[in-house]
Each structure stands twice: as structure tokens, then as C-alpha cells.
């Protein structure tokens, strides 16, 4: 099998679930529970921690656990140029050339019995810095895929937007044809940075604030303190339910650099928070009396 075919196989199955335990380079008090290949936007993969133990700022749940990508620490040699596993340079064949368990065992290698008829064998070959070669055989169910979308979803879920509390002035009731000011108490007009997930950080940039009530809607900059920058005029009296929304644009970073979002993930590029409030609107009527 050619090196190109091995590379294509490595990209199809992107995360190798290892049985290795190691301390996070960023936080020595955390223990890595799973290491594997984490897909990059260009289709390459970086070997790193995909799940940290609880108690040290990590997350023990699935592929969405915290932690960053480990910088490859191996030196590629010949065909061993797909990824690093610690200080070992490795390549992957998916599927492996040999699929028969007994044939693999006759080669002097070990592999567990076939879990299910639908499973197939994946081969990972590695070489250490001293030239020692390592042959590893896995069933595909022993692998876990952490794709670019998985990483984006994990980082997106780490953004915690502040609650929106719609406030208006006049504060208790307003009048027909009177300018009514709006602002979002407790919100922020500054970027909101989520915590790291699988090496990615999602950042929410406030774009605009909208207020919808009584059949009309206004768009404003994000106003967080008393101001006339966001003003609405009610045309009729009554109790009107007003909905305030703050829309955020989402961008992603990897090690402080922009992380490209592949096409097809548009729903991860925006986020919003909202709340409602009831506004009593009164109408002032004038009575003209002839005093002559």
C-alpha cells in the first residue's frame, strides 16, 4: 500500500484511542485519559489529549473533553510520517492489509477476537527514536472520531452568554408617541470568550441588539447602560410584550490564531440571547375647554 493510501486511511479514521496516561503540559495536576488524532481544517491530524480527568479543570465526558493539541514530538522517518504518538513516528492503514485474526497472530502480533462481524482491522505502524518498530492492530470500534465539526461543537458549547434583562425608560410605563429608551442590563458589549475545548476557543462578538414590540422592530448597537442610543415609539396604548435579543457573531481560535470553519457549519457562526418584558403604554388625552 502506498504512502498516499496510508495518508488517506489516516484521514478517514482520525482519532486513535490510546491506553496511554500522561500529564497535561499545560496543567500538571490533570491526567489525560484519552489521547488521539484531532482533525485540523486542512485535513491533517495532530496527536494530543482528547479527554482529561475530572477535578483538574478538565472534562471526563466523551470527545468534548477539555485539553489542547500536543505538539508532535517525534521525527518522521521514511513511511512513518502520518502523525506522532509521543516520540514515536507513525502511519495508519485503514483498512489493514490483513483482516484475518489468525493470520495476524501467526505474524507474532497480538489482536483481540473480532467484536462484531461488521468490524474491520486497522493497522498502526510506529518507529521509536532508537529505531525500534512497533506494530499495532485495532478493530475499528476501538477508534473514536473527533472531526473538525466535533471540535467546533465542543468549543461552541463552552460559550456562556450573560443573561439579557430588558430595561426601558420611562421605567414603569411609557406613553403613546413618547421616545422609550432601551438597554440590556447585565449584558456586555465586549467579546465573550468561551473556555477551551479540544484545543479550540470560541469567541462571541456582539453584533447588534433588537427590540420587537407592538408590531415593530428596531436594531441598535448593544447598549448596556442607560442611554438614548436605542429608542422606540409606541403608536397605540395597551400592555405590549417586548422581546429583546442580542445577536453574536462566533469565531474560533487555535493557539491564538484564527481557526477556519469549513462550509456547512453556518449554524455555529452565530448565537443569541433574549428575554421579554411587558410594557404598559398609556395614552394622554387633552380636553380643550372654551373659557370665553
Among residues 53, 83, 57, the alpha carbon closest in space to that of 70 is found at 83
Instruction: Look at residue 84 in the predicted model and tell me its pLDDT.
Output: 75
Among residues 191, 266, 196, 181, the alpha carbon closest in space to that of 226 is found at 181
Sign of the CA dihedral 235, 238, 241, 246?
positive
Say if residues 73 and 89 touch (Cβ distance below 8 Å).
Answer: no
Extract the C-alpha cell encoding 144.
473514536
Instruction: Look at residue 9 in the predicted model and tell me its pLDDT.
Output: 40
- pLDDT, tens digit, for every residue of 1-21? 333 333 334 333 333 333 322
- pLDDT, tens digit, for every residue of 111-146? 999 999 999 999 999 999 999 999 989 898 876 667
- pLDDT, tens digit, for every residue of 224-264? 999 999 999 999 999 999 999 999 999 999 889 999 999 99
Instruction: Look at residue 11 in the predicted model and tell me its pLDDT.
Output: 35
Instruction: Look at residue 269 in the predicted model and tell me its pLDDT.
Output: 98
Strands 22-23 and 192-193: unpaired
Q: How far apart are CA 79 and CA 88, in angstroms?
A: 12
Residue 257: CB partners within 8 Å, gap ≥ 6? Answer: none
| CA-angle at 243, arms to 240 and 245, nearest 5° | 165
Instruction: Look at residue 23 in the predicted model and tell me its pLDDT.
Output: 30
Q: How far apart are CA 184 and CA 161, in angstroms?
A: 13
Say if residues 39 and 64 touch (Cβ distance below 8 Å).
Answer: no
Instruction: Look at residue 3 in the predicted model and tell me its pLDDT.
Output: 37
- Fold type of domain 149-282: Immunoglobulin-like (2.60.40)
Instruction: Look at residue 29 in the predicted model and tell me its pLDDT.
Output: 63
Average pLDDT rounded to a whole number, residues 199-207: 95
Average pLDDT rounded to a whole number, residues 47-74: 51
Residue 227: CB partners within 8 Å, gap ≥ 6? Answer: 181, 183
Sign of the CA dihedral 201, 255, 207, 225?
positive
Instruction: Look at residue 54 in the predicted model and tell me its pLDDT.
Output: 56
The residue with greater pLDDT, 96 or 74, is 96
Q: Quick one: what percent of the chain has pLDDT higher than 90?
A: 59
Average pLDDT rounded to a whole number, residues 40-68: 55
Instruction: Look at residue 184 in the predicted model and tell me its pLDDT.
Output: 97
Please check the confidence at residue 46 and state whether its pLDDT lies above 90. Answer: no
Among residues 243, 241, 259, the alpha carbon closest in space to that of 251 is found at 259
Average pLDDT rounded to a whole number, residues 62-73: 42
Q: How far apart are CA 230 and CA 178, in angstroms?
A: 13
Where are the domains positioned within the chain? 3-146, 149-282
Is residue 209 reached through a cis peptide bond, with omega within 30 degrees of 0 on the bond before it? no
The residue with greater pLDDT, 206 or 29, is 206
Average pLDDT rounded to a whole number, residues 250-279: 95
The residue with greater pLDDT, 159 or 76, is 159
Q: How far apart are CA 147 and CA 45, in angstroms?
A: 10
Q: How far apart are CA 88 and CA 252, in angstroms?
A: 30
Amino acid at each position: 500500500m502506498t504512502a498516499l493510501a496510508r495518508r488517506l486511511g489516516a484521514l478517514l479514521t482520525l482519532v486513535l484511542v490510546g491506553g496511554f496516561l500522561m500529564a497535561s503540559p499545560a496543567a500538571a495536576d490533570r491526567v489525560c485519559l484519552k489521547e488521539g488524532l484531532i482533525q485540523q481544517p486542512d485535513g491533517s491530524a495532530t496527536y494530543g489529549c482528547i479527554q482529561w480527568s475530572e477535578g483538574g479543570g478538565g472534562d471526563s465526558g466523551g470527545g468534548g473533553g477539555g485539553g489542547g493539541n500536543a505538539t508532535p514530538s517525534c521525527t518522521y522517518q521514511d513511511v512513518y510520517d502520518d502523525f506522532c504518538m509521543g516520540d514515536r513516528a507513525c502511519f495508519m492503514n485503514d483498512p489493514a492489509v490483513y483482516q484475518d485474526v489468525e493470520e495476524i497472530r501467526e505474524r507474532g502480533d497480538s489482536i483481540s477476537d473480532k467484536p462484531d462481524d461488521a468490524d474491520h482491522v486497522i493497522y498502526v505502524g510506529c518507529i521509536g527514536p532508537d529505531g525500534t518498530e512497533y506494530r499495532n492492530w485495532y478493530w475499528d470500534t476501538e477508534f473514536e472520531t473527533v472531526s473538525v465539526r466535533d471540535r467546533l461543537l465542543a468549543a461552541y458549547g463552552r460559550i456562556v452568554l450573560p443573561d439579557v434583562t430588558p430595561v426601558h425608560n420611562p421605567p414603569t410605563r411609557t406613553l403613546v408617541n413618547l421616545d422609550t429608551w432601551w438597554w440590556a442590563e447585565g449584558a456586555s458589549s465586549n467579546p465573550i470568550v468561551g473556555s477551551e475545548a479540544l484545543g479550540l476557543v470560541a469567541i462571541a462578538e456582539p453584533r447588534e441588539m433588537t427590540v420587537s414590540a407592538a408590531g415593530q422592530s428596531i436594531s441598535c448597537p448593544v447598549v448596556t447602560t442607560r442611554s438614548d442610543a436605542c429608542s422606540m415609539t409606541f403608536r397605540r396604548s395597551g400592555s405590549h410584550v417586548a422581546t429583546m435579543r442580542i445577536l453574536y457573531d462566533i469565531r474560533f481560535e487555535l493557539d491564538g490564531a484564527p481557526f477556519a470553519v469549513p462550509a456547512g457549519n453556518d449554524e455555529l457562526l452565530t448565537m443569541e440571547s433574549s428575554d421579554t418584558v411587558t410594557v404598559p403604554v398609556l395614552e394622554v388625552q387633552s380636553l380643550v375647554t372654551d373659557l370665553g
